[in-house]
Every structure is written in structure tokens, then in C-alpha cells.
Amino acid sequence: MHELSIIYSVVSTVTKAVADQGGGQVISVRLRVGALAGVERDSLLFGYDLATQGTPLAGSVLEIEDVPVRIYCSSCACEQTLVGVQSFRCPVCGRPSGDFRSGRELAIESVEIETPQSEQAPC
Amino acid sequence: METRVLELRRNVLNKNDELARNLRARFQQAELLVLNLVSSPGTGKTEFLKKTLTALREHGLRVAALVGDLETDNDAHRLMESGAPVRQITTHGCCHLDAGMIERHLEGWALEDLDILFIENVGNLVCPSNYDLGEAVRVALLSVTEGEDKPLKYPGIFNSADVAVITKMDIAEACEFDREVAEANIHEVRPGMTIFAVSAKRGVGMEEWLAFLLELQSPQSRYVMAIADAGRRAVIS
């Protein structure tokens, strides 16, 4: 159920950022969601249509980029991507690693907006 | 009409993260150790915390607790039996505590007059993992009745924790609970994590847990807290 409150945070942050940039209709919002972020893709998408009504985000598309868990393996001396989230072991040598590098992201990466030409900033 | 892309690169929960950063700075300023207890409903957080508060007070430490529940202040009353100051946070349906709730419920408490503050989160193994409360140490609890594979089912919260506590060890045998398997599963999702196995009711394993807290609270251990603060809680962008 906290997906909806997460979506409301997205709407509030994006609305403010777009207003700060002179306004415009939002076409798409890109989120980065880590495999360990604890949020469910379908619930985010479901909540998005509901929460964006009556805002500059209404009718926009929510794009979700899945971020896998990456750990640093000291034996292999490099970062490795985990296939799942049930085992924090290097997929190459099998050694456990608590050196967690990514996978808990829950971030707004970018927003695509449609701007009336008269309001466009010079390049 | 033309389109353009705004690169935001901002955490969704940036408002919570900012409040949590401010709380953490206040806690460090007041030299206050703060622990956030997370688990499923019914794991025994309240009983475990009540015994912990009672024992720490006997050691002369100044302890307090905030306890979160969807409804009722039953848990706060149970915790008050320890003699420690306790405040109930009633979330009215919200499935986790956030940093704003912590900030509001600390109002009027002189943090510098406390040594350890415990935050008993709402019983939930999913949502609380996203919400930094400014704590130095996150403790994930698992009871013997829940099954050894709970950490594999909820890797997010166990991975976000710094310490694990297995509770209700007094009924482990009746539940055919395999401690070794449970510990292996915890280490599968969080290699190297410190694990305690206790029965708060019977007092089993509580001495080790209390010794750990006393060690954490000592001035020479503050660097451990700093490491935990910097690493585990940061949401990586």
C-alpha cells in the first residue's frame, strides 16, 4: 500500500520541478527502481494514473527502469550483478559479499515535458 | 510544441531522507544512540523491548522508546511498565513510520538527557525498509514461529538491517525451528550480519544482546555508528 504514497511523492516532486522550469505538460516520468526497493511495479503503475489526475502529470507515461543488485566481490576484485535477491554471493566464485553497491534505488531519473515554443529557453 | 528532458536524479523519498538526515545530526549532537526495530506483526518486539528497557535502566542508562502501531496505545502501556519514558505513534492505517512522525513525537524530550532511544516500528517487513528514521542501527527481528526462510522471502528489510535478533527461542523446539538454517538464510541475504538468539520471556540470550548495546553505546564505539550511518542508510542513486 505504500506505493501510492511513493507515487504522491513523485507527483509532488515533478510538479514542483516542472513549475520551477517554467511549466509545461509532462509526457513521461522515468523512475529507477532497485530490486531491493520493496516496491511493486504494477502497484506503481496502477497508482500513477490515479494520483496524476488533475496535475501537470495527467496522461503522462510512467517508465520504470529496473536496477539489479550489484555487489563488490573482493576475490574477483570487481563488481558483480546478482541474478536475484535471495543470495548475496558472487555469481562467479560463490563467495558471500556484504559489500553492497546498488539495488535499493528509488529515484526520479528524468522528466520529459512538452513546452510551448514561445516559452522555450534559448539553446 | 517541442519536448525537452529535465534530468532530476532525485530520490523519491527525498523529503523523508532530508528529515532523517536532520534527525541523525541531532542524535549525534546529543550523543544519543538510536535503534530502529523492524519485524512482522507478532514477532515479539514489544516484549523484547520491554525487557531490554528494564535491564538497561538497571544498568543506570537513560533510555526511552517510541512505538508505532496502526491503532491503540496498548504497546506503549506495556513498554511503560519498564519505567522508561515511552510515546505511542498511532499511524491510523499507515504501514510504516517515517522521519516526520519521529520528529513530531520527540517534541519536548531533551535528547541530551538520554543515552539510548528505541523506535519500535509498525509490524511490517516491507514498507519500513524504505524509510530512514535517522537511526544508527536497524535491528530486524524474526521469531521461531515464522519459519527459517523468512529472510529469503523478505530480503530487502534483512539486507537493510545491521543486526538480526531471533526471538521466542524458548518455543523453538516445539516449532521444530532450525536455528542453523535460519542463521544461514540471514547470512545469505546479509553476509556477516551479527545475530542474537533470545527468549525475552525466559531471559535467554539477553545478556549477550545487552552487552552488545552497552558496547555500542560506549564513546569508543561511536565510530561504528558513524559507519552504519554513512553506509547502510544511504539510498544509492
Residues in chain A: 123
| Residue A41 to chain B, least CA–CA distance (Å) | 14
B116 close to B63: Cβ distance less than 8 angstroms: yes
3-class DSSP state of B221:
helix
Low-confidence ranges of chain B (pLDDT < 70): 220, 222-237
Interface contact B190-A98, CB threshold 8 A: yes
The reply to whether A123 sits in an annotated binding site is no
Per-domain boundaries in chain B: 14-218
Report the C-alpha dihedral over residues A17, A21, A27, A33, rounded to 10 degrees: -30
Mark A70-103 as b/e (b = at least 16 C-beta within 10 Å): bbebeeeeeebebeebebbbbeeeeebbeebebb
A64 close to A41: Cβ distance less than 8 angstroms: yes
The ipTM of this complex is: 0.84
B24 close to B32: Cβ distance less than 8 angstroms: no
Strand blocks (E) in chain A = 25-34, 61-67, 70-73, 78-81, 100-102, 106-115
Q: Which residue in B has a C-alpha nearest to residue A67's C-alpha? A: B237
A104 close to B235: Cβ distance less than 8 angstroms: yes
pLDDT at residue A3, rounded to an integer = 87
Q: Which residue in B has a C-alpha nearest to residue A19's C-alpha? A: B6
pLDDT at residue B218, rounded to an integer = 81
Interchain CB contact of B129 with A (< 8 Å)? yes
Query: In order of start, what are the domains of chain A with their CATH numbers?
Result: 2-115 (3.30.2320.80)
Q: Look over chain A and give the mean of its residue pLDDT values, rounded to a whole number.
A: 91
The reply to whether A76 sits in an annotated binding site is yes
Residues 6+ apart with CB under 8 A from B131: B13, B16, B20, B96, B97, B98, B99
What single letter denotes the amino acid at residue B232?
R
Of B4, B96, B188, the CB nearest to A2: B96
* Rounded Cα gap, residues A35 and A20, in angstroms: 31
Angle between helices A41-52 and A2-20 (to 10 degrees): 50
Fold (CATH) for B14-218: Rossmann fold (3.40.50)
The C-alpha R_g of chain A, in whole angstroms, comes to 18
For residue B29, list its beta bridge partners: none
pLDDT at residue B147, rounded to an integer = 94
Chain position carrying cell 494520483: A51
Residue A108 pLDDT greater than 60, yes or no: yes
* Rounded Cα gap, residues B106 and B20, in angstroms: 13
B96-153: per-residue pLDDT in tens?
999 999 999 999 999 999 999 999 999 999 989 989 999 999 999 999 999 999 999 9
Residue B129 CA to its chain's centroid (Å)? 10
Interchain CB contact of B92 with A (< 8 Å)? no
Determine the residue among A87, A95, A123 to mutate to test chain B binding: the one whose Cβ has the most chain B Cβ atoms within 10 Å. A87
* Rounded Cα gap, residues B222 and B19, in angstroms: 22
Of B127, B130, B189, the CB nearest to A88: B189
A37-93: per-residue pLDDT in tens?
989 999 999 999 999 999 999 999 999 999 999 999 999 999 999 998 999 999 999
| Residue A95 to chain B, least CA–CA distance (Å) | 10
| Pairwise pLDDT comparison (B61 vs A121), residue with the higher score | B61
* B12 closest CA partner among A42, A81, A82, A17: A17
- Tell me which long-range contacts B213-220 makes (C-beta under 8 A, separation of at least 24): B213/B33, B213/B52, B213/B56, B213/B116, B214/B59, B214/B61, B216/B33, B216/B136, B216/B137, B217/B33, B217/B61, B217/B115, B217/B116, B219/B31
CA distances for B150 relative to A102, B10, B134, angstroms: 22, 32, 26
Interchain CB contact of B13 with A (< 8 Å)? yes
Q: Which residue in B has a C-alpha nearest to residue A101's C-alpha? A: B236
* Rounded Cα gap, residues B73 and B211, in angstroms: 30
Interchain CB contact of B8 with A (< 8 Å)? yes
Contacts of A112 in chain B (CB under 8 A): 3-6
Q: How many helices (H) and strands (E) does chain A have?
A: 2, 6
Residues 6+ apart with CB under 8 A from B174: none
Determine the residue among B2, B5, B12 to mutate to test chain A binding: the one whose Cβ has the most chain A Cβ atoms within 10 Å. B12
Determine the residue among B3, B8, B126, B186 to mutate to test chain A binding: the one whose Cβ has the most chain A Cβ atoms within 10 Å. B8
Beta strand B163-167 with B137-143 is parallel
